[in-house]
Homo-oligomer: A and B are copies of this chain.
Amino acid sequence: MEEKEWKDWVHWVAEEYGLDLSKERVTEKQRRILEAAIHIFSEKGFEGASTSSIAKKAGVAEATIFKHYKTKKGLLLHLVIPALSRVVVPFILKPVVKILDTDKPLGEIIPELYEDRMKLVEQNWRKIQIILVESLYQPEIREAVQNHVATIIYEEVVERVDAWQKKGLIREDLPAYVVARSILSMGLGFIVTKNILPDKAVQEDQKTELSWTTEALLHGIAGPLEKKETL
């Protein structure tokens, strides 16, 4: 189902902005334009980046950009759309297969998931940054992120949690969506603190840090004198 909605959205954007997404043929110069655009957009932001600076960095005439992408915003969307689908699909599909065919305890599965999701984020960081920032200013991108990325990831996690609850691996006295939010929050918080406070908030090697994080997530931070609330 999400597959269909996603294609609808892509099709809508393509029509709205006159993008030609059908031909996958990209010339060398087009590749260089996209690469230069990723760098300059992520360094200066969409509005702060000039098409002339992108052309210069790509070693291409400015008119070439407009030949292929019609407008500056068209160029942006040509970056964003493939990046979204390339991040969404692995986020959704990989955990499913990975989890369904193992019987490892959560204490091992979760840090593994965190680890390769973080690798994905690191590899695509520039693109992700562009998408996050521009989703604040461009409604089409915001809607795509909300409806075609965040929602789908979240629902996928909720579904997994639900199954785990039935197996007794997760507490059943908390709603599945609260548990899902907790799992995602701890991962997000790890990434954020690792990037803005590298030496304060992440002091050991990543494996150790992730297993501590998982331990806190699974069994909480309360000490012996803090009594459990009755739900």
Least CB distance from A145 to B in Å reads 7
| Identical subunits present | 2
Whether A209 touches B167, Cβ cut-off 8 Å, given contacts A47-B44, A219-B219, is: no
Contact B218 A221 (CB under 8 A): yes
Whether A170 touches B221, Cβ cut-off 8 Å, given contacts A133-B136, A196-B146, A215-B231, is: yes
Whether A192 touches B188, Cβ cut-off 8 Å, given contacts A137-B48, A182-B216, is: yes
The DSSP consensus for interface residues of chain A is helix
Which residues of the partner chain B approach A146 to less than 8 Å between Cβ atoms? 196-197
Contact A168 B200 (CB under 8 A): no
What are 11 A-B pairs with beta-carbon distances under 8 A? A105-B227, A133-B136, A154-B197, A154-B200, A170-B222, A181-B213, A188-B188, A214-B229, A216-B220, A218-B220, A218-B229
